[in-house]
Structure 1
Amino acid sequence: MNPRAAVAARSAGAVPAEAAGRLRKRYESLICDLLGEGLTGPAYQIADLAVADGLWAERLQRPIELHPTTRRCAFFEPDDFWFTSHLRLHWPRIRAEIEGIADPARAGFSTAGLDGSSVRGGLWHQLMLWDRGRRFDRACDLLPATAEAVAAIPEATVAGNGFVMVSWLQPGTWIAPHCGPTNAKARTHFCVRTDPEARIRVGDRERRWEEGASFTFDDSFEHEVWHKGTTPRVVLIVDTANPYLTEPATVVRRDQANRTDEMHGFMTAMQLERVVRTADGVEVTPNPAMTEFIRSYMDTRQIGVVELKGSRLAVTFAGDGSSR
């Protein structure tokens, strides 16, 4: 059976096609929680159940969005991506820019994994340069040589589902096993700097990064990162289309539409009505249902103000103004 027919057969099998994505998401969330707690056996038992139900083809490749491809592989052939040699030519300038950053958080990098979904120890910072054709000027101005090199890669900066970011992993970080949300992309790691004790596993294969070199993988396969060294590991991540997609144009259109769905899903999951970025942070307005829930909770407990700062809870009670 060819790959397209196999996907169609699975979609028409035990699980209705319209429910497949929703069920994959729930399965993957549970599997990742178990893997993050070190419960590998139960996690893979659940993954095998999902495979038996036709949601995935194998336990180590678990995307939410599953597209037909002519071939499935954890790592792609290096020759399929011309721009890896281009990035290597620019490596000295890219590295010099990275070496000029002492603290990624102060430089404007965001902290990844704050929801605890994958980062189970250490610190992981990211700086997004391009996303689906949109250039992020502040980030590109911070790293002009890197931005110049990346701008010459239309597959990542112009094509519909291209994506580029700098990933900065601090020593002591563990990114627990997880799978990317779609098999539509090929993820290239171009190593700017690394430590011999930083490693990645994709599928059942483990690798170390080499400075100035690249490898490309399908991040819908389960992957995990350990950094047991002493110096940061910094890679330039470049997402381009999976070269084995049977209908790439259709996938690009669907991924563009999913961008709005992604934002809607975030707002809905967080129960937010409005979010505004300010100079000092963000202003958040809960949706009416959450606002009423919070109001009722505080009124029944006579709370005027409550603040959680780290592990410390500060409460000011309404009426008498007492606090604890």
Structure 2
Amino acid sequence: MEPATDRRSAARQADRPMAPELVARLRKQYEGLISDLLGEGLTDAGYAVADTAVAQGLWPERLHRPIELHPTTQSRPFLDPADFWFTSHLERHWDLIRAEIDAIEEPARAGFSTAGMDGSSVRGGRWHQLMLWDRGRRFERACGLLPGTAEVLSAIPDVTAQGTGFVMVSWLEPGTWIAPHCGPTNVKARTHFCVRGDARARIRVGDQVRGWDEGRCFVFDDSYEHEVWHDGEVPRVVLILDAPNPYLVDGERVVRQEQANRADEMLTFMTAMRLRRITRVGADVKVTFAPSMVEFIRSYLETRQLESVELRQGVLRVRAVATPGGEG
């Protein structure tokens, strides 16, 4: 028979709430597994994991899985565009913005970055992106490519000056699938302003599916699971804008905390990756690892008698240490 003291100890453990740091860590691990399964088309397995996490109290529902989940006065996949004053401002300037986008023939040549099959959520096709603003920082080269658009956006401090602010041109090629995933926090609300549409391009947020209408905005909470399919024939181009979520309880405090968290991102990243220094040299990046990581890598190569290992376009290229009388 189980001793009474052991039963009481187990009961206390079961009743004790998880620390916030543990909740965040578990949510991140669960979400990574769920997204991987859904991205491979293993829908039943992915949602079985999601339901397990919900049963453990990590999230309120299987389709709403942010790492940071703050209290709100209302929570739903699509939000009311009328609650965001700048949606009408963007729609009034659609002709100008569309003309600048139409002048771009090849986004990659124009300076857009491209996510393809190696992207974390892109499972087919090509997704081109051009960052205009991020966390109050204006990207001059990108804004110079679209000067009229940048002027329109400059009048929206909600997305250009706020700590949660973010503006990007999203150019989606036909045949692209962005697999189901959840944004990391519900601090922000995400606006899509459709500059160029295609009737066969669709987005699902939570359990709701809709398309894009040229010259119109919709707003959604990207901490809900969302995915995109483009089965059409012409690129779908939208402006993506992130503004503070107006439904947050104690929103100002939460946004300030989010800004503080973001300020710690680089420290967290460098510590996790065991980096000592990162330097941008022209178009390249030079990375110096911490001594412990350098020693680990050196030991790994030595024990396997490798001179170099390179991953190029998904192909691993290995060069062994040359042996006397043999080929390197």
Q: TM-score when scaled to structure 1?
A: 0.89
Specify which of 147, 150, 157 is matched with residue 160 of structure 2.
157
Q: Map of 1:183-202 to 2, 5 A cutoff?
A: 183-202=186-205
User: 1:315 corresponds to which residue?
Assistant: 319
How far did 1:116 drift? 3.9
Deviates more, 1:57-66 or 1:274-283: 274-283
- The answer as to 2:289 corresponding to 1:289 is no
User: 2:137 corresponds to which residue?
Assistant: 134
Q: Which amino acid aligns with 1:259?
A: R
User: 1:215 corresponds to which residue?
Assistant: 218
Q: Which amino acid aligns with 1:27?
A: Y
How many correspondences in the alignment?
313
CA contact (8 A) 1:169 1:233 kept: yes
Q: Which amino acid aligns with 2:21?
A: E
- The answer as to 2:27 corresponding to 1:40 is no
- The answer as to 2:128 corresponding to 1:125 is yes
Q: Map of 1:1-324 to 2, 5 A cutoff?
A: 14-112=17-115, 116-310=119-313, 311=315, 313=317, 315=319, 317-318=321-322
CA contact (8 A) 1:15 1:53 kept: no
Q: Which amino acid aligns with 2:32?
A: S
Q: Which amino acid aligns with 1:261?
A: D
1: CA distance, partners of 2:116 / 2:57: 30
CA RMSD of aligned residues (A): 2.2
Larger radius of gyration: 2
Deviates more, 1:123-132 or 1:180-189: 123-132
DSSP 3-state at the match of 1:180: coil
2: CA distance, partners of 1:78 / 1:238: 12
Distance 1:21 1:289, change over 3 A: same
Q: Which amino acid aligns with 1:300?
A: T
2: CA distance, partners of 1:239 / 1:179: 15
2: CA distance, partners of 1:106 / 1:266: 30
1: CA distance, partners of 2:119 / 2:234: 23
| Structure 2 residue ranges without an equivalent (≥5) | 1-14
Deviates more, 1:176-185 or 1:304-313: 304-313
How far did 1:296 drift? 2.0
DSSP 3-state at the match of 1:21: helix
Q: TM-score when scaled to structure 2?
A: 0.88
How far did 1:322 drift? 6.6
CA contact (8 A) 1:36 1:177 kept: yes
